[in-house]
Structure 1
Amino acid sequence: MWSDLQQFKADFFKALAHPLRIRILELLAEGDKSVNEIQSMLNSEGSAVSQQLSVLRAKNIVVGTKEGKRVIYSLRDPVIIDLLEVARKIFDNHLIDAISMYKELDKNN
């Protein structure tokens, strides 16, 4: 019933469906980082970050490269940066619409 592409998209977006995973991707969009760097930047527990990185790795969204005792994470496909930017633009459009509706309601009261 569903095509392979539709299933891929569903699985891909499911893997993105967590605020911490999105934030990790935003950080990795700025450049490769170790787990410790990500934890520090997020002020988050190591187990939470590791768990979310594991989900992203399992879906081939990020890759980890061993450098000595550290694992450095990076985006598997830099086009993900574009996807995050498009999501930001959609959010901004929704916000603009909500503000416009609020101003219209406020004007009528």
Structure 2
Amino acid sequence: MPFTHTERPLYEVKAGLFKGLSHPFRIRVLELLADGAEHTVAELQEATGLEASHLSQHLSVLRRHRLVASDRRASHVYYRLAHPDVAELLAVARRLLADIVAADSARAADVAALPELPR
């Protein structure tokens, strides 16, 4: 069944949400922000090991898809999750990942070794 003229824009926003999640480093940045605190670019760079330009590109994608919000204070930009449900989405994705790889014991151990997500 084709989209109605009112449905299509909503599905495009939803697709954008998943596009924002479609890179391992962006997921890692979101997981770091899931602790509920604001983090500077320098803190995120240290935690991810990304070069500043690459991190900036990923943060731009996350902002564009409204997954993160930012505030400039003095000479620093602070990032946080744009909505608390992003953390819940990450937790659901982690549980789904665990179920998907459960049959592969080596991968299941890798999932179990991932850093705990804040609640």
TM class by shorter chain equals: 0.7 to 0.9
Q: State the Cα deviation string for residues 36-87 of structure 1 (Å, max 9, x = none).
A: 0000111211111111001111111111101111000011101000000000
| More helix by percentage | 1
1:15 equivalent in alignment to 2:33: no
| Equivalent-residue separation in structure 1 for 2:21 and 2:55 (angstroms) | 14
| Equivalent-residue separation in structure 1 for 2:94 and 2:66 (angstroms) | 22
TM-score by length of 1: 0.85
| Letter paired with 1:7 | E
Q: Identity, % of aligned pairs?
A: 38
Structure 1: 5+ residue stretches without partners: 100-109
| Equivalent-residue separation in structure 2 for 1:11 and 1:39 (angstroms) | 24
Consecutive aligned runs of 4 or more in structure 1 exceeding 2 Å deviation = none
| Equivalent-residue separation in structure 1 for 2:44 and 2:32 (angstroms) | 7
- Give the CA RMSD over aligned residues: 1.2
Greater Cα radius of gyration, structure 1 or 2: 1
Match of 1:56 in 2: 62
Q: Per the alignment, in what secondary structure is the counterpart of residue 103 of structure 2? A: helix
Match of 1:36 in 2: 42
